[in-house]
Amino acid sequence: MDRRFFIKAIPMAGVAGTIGSDKGLLKAMATEKPVHNDRQYNVDLLLRICRPVISKLSEGKLKTAMPTEVAPDYAKPVDKVTYLEAFGRTLAGLAPWLELGPDNTPEGNKRSAMLDITRKAIAMAVDPASPDYMNFTGKFDAQPLVDGAFLAHGLLRAPTQLWGALSSKTQQQVIDGLISLRSIKAFTNNWVLFSAIIEAMLLKYGAAWDRKPVDLAVQKIMEWYKGDSMYGDGAHFHYDYYNSFVIQPMLVDVLKVMVEKNEEGKENYELALKRMQRYSSILERQISPEGTFPVVGRSMPYRNAAFQALAQIALEDKLPPEISPAQVRCALTEVNKRIFETPGTFDKEGWLQIGFCGHQPEIADVYTSTGSLYLCTTGFLALGLPAQHPFWSAAAQPWTAKKAWSGAMVKKDHSIDY
């Protein structure tokens, strides 16, 4: 019997301190059997990460409850930026799973409860009368553009269960908040996509949008292409995971909206998608037999967000033919176990702590605070596939490095020339 189907249950430290009034989710968790498969493990882990942020925000208590740990030499007004960081990033990863909607399964009951508090959390975040109203201006720092973009990306990923279920008042408040971010000028690097994804979200949902930031972002990112699926972050290449943290997922989704709305032809979208498929293959090959991967470049406290591009390609059901859905599931689950079961990853109240594998403040960049860490949720995008999908239902399979290092047959790798 494959050992992968005897995964230990995730410890629930800090539940009493973070759940608050979230009784529906508590009830669903209380009746759960011990974790026995990869999907249940990942659902429970995603909820463990997201629950403190979503639950406290739904009650209007995020600003009083969330820690504000910062990196050494942190250089931002943390109380003006970290809360939108936490919420926007959490929503960006949680949204595809929520978009599946409620059903009469234990997982569906958890989803129903989380949907309820997430909708309340959105309303709290954008209502000027809320104690947790978030900063959608550049008055104190440019950072809100970044996390308004992640919020917009999350709403793009759940058009029915989140955006479509919001009141007209809350929808308008979201739009007002995002439009106010136009006052922030994007830097000439991956930031051009933050402005673009916001405008794409406004276009998607019928609000007044500005085409210029979208055209600029697409033009610049395409200019910065370096070959074999990799874009520069600006004119220069940086050896890090920003192709996965931001560039490829946002580029593909911006172009997807433009095609859907007949604002652009398919050529750029199809090209960007092909490149992201190749990049996803490279990411999968970087996962070692033990579930580790290279710790290189900026923003390593984003942890498994390094695999957002791979998870998004899996979610779109567009994995390259040489990679099976099951091997990606097994590889990403092993990565999550290595990262999130390490002591120090969570504090005693269940909040993430700065680090890559445990609590390691020294690995953080000067812009990293508690809220920044929640980009890790984007490593769970494949939970937006239903439980019956082969990604989750097929038998466990070894991933590329596991096969290669055990002497099994592995086909040769190859670059792309487009």
Q: Is 414 a domain residue? A: no
φ/ψ region of 326 (left if φ > 0, alpha if ψ in -120 to 50, else beta) reads alpha
> In this structure, are residues 401 and 289 in contact, taking their beta carbons and an 8 Å threshold?
yes
For residues 107 and 170, what is the distance between their CA atoms, to the nearest angstrom?
Answer: 27
CATH code of 31's domain: 1.50.10
Evaluate whether 368 touches 86 at the Cβ level (below 8 Å): no
Looking at residue 20, its pLDDT comes to 43
Using CB atoms within 10 A of its CB, is residue 309 exposed (0-12), middle (13-18) or buried (19+)?
A: buried
pTM of the full structure: 0.92
**For all residues of the chain together, what is the average pLDDT?**
93
**Ramachandran bin of 358, using left for φ above 0, alpha for ψ from -120 to 50, beta for the remaining angles:** left
Q: Which CA distances in Å does 282 have to 357, 408, 418?
A: 22, 19, 16
The burial of 182, by beta-carbon neighbours within 10 Å (0-12 exposed, 13-18 middle, 19 or more buried), is given as middle
Q: In which band, very low, low, confident or very high, does the pLDDT at 195 lie, cut at 50, 70 and 90?
A: very high
| Residue 312 covered by a domain | yes
Confirm whether 413 is domain-assigned. no
Tokens 């890790």 — which residue?
376
Q: Show Cβ contacts of residue 110 under 8 Å, excluding neighbours closer than 6 positions.
A: 25, 28, 29, 43, 47
User: Domain containing 104: what range?
Assistant: 3-404
pLDDT score of 28 more than 70: no
Task: At 205, list the tokens.
Answer: 């949902």
Whether 412 is in a domain gets the answer: no
- Specify the number of domains making up the chain: 1
Q: Which residues contact 261 (CB under 8 A, 6 or more apart)?
A: 203, 204
pLDDT tens track for 337-375: 999 999 999 999 999 999 999 999 999 999 999 999 999
Buried b (16+ CB within 10 A) or exposed e, 329-357: bbbbbbbbbbbbeeeebbbeebbbbbbbb
Query: What does DSSP assign to residue 70?
Result: B
Within a domain: residue 415? no
Quick one: DSSP state of residue 225?
Answer: E
Q: Alpha-carbon distance 265 to 350, whole Å? A: 46
Residue range 59-99, pLDDT digits in tens: 999 999 999 999 999 999 999 999 999 999 999 999 999 99
**Count of residues in the chain:** 418
Instruction: Report pLDDT digits (tens) over 177-188.
Output: 999 999 999 999
135-146 pLDDT, tens per residue?
999 999 999 999
Residue 411: pLDDT over 50: yes
Using alpha carbons only, how large is the chain's radius of gyration in Å? 20
Residue 262 has pLDDT above 90, yes or no: yes
DSSP string, 312-369: HHHHTT---TTS-HHHHHHHHHHHHHHHHTSTTSB-TTS-B-SSSSSS-GGG--TT-B
Q: Give the whole-angstrom CA distance, residue 356 versus residue 245.
A: 15
Domain contains 38: yes
| Residues with Cβ within 8 Å of residue 204, at least 6 apart in sequence | 156, 159, 257, 260, 261
- Bridge-partner residues for 225, per DSSP? 231
With a cut of 60, say whether residue 132 has pLDDT above it.
yes
* Angle value at C-alpha 216, between 247 and 229, nearest 5 degrees: 35
Q: What is the DSSP letter of 34?
A: P
Read off the pLDDT of residues 386-408 as tens digits, 9 standing for 90 and up. 999 999 999 999 999 999 999 99
How many Å apart are CA 31 and CA 285, to the nearest integer? 38
Whether the per-residue pLDDT at 19 is higher than 50: the answer is no
The per-residue pLDDT for range 279-319, each reduced to its tens digit, is: 999 999 999 999 999 999 999 999 999 999 999 999 999 99
pLDDT at 16 over 80: no
CB contact at 8 A, 181 and 148: yes
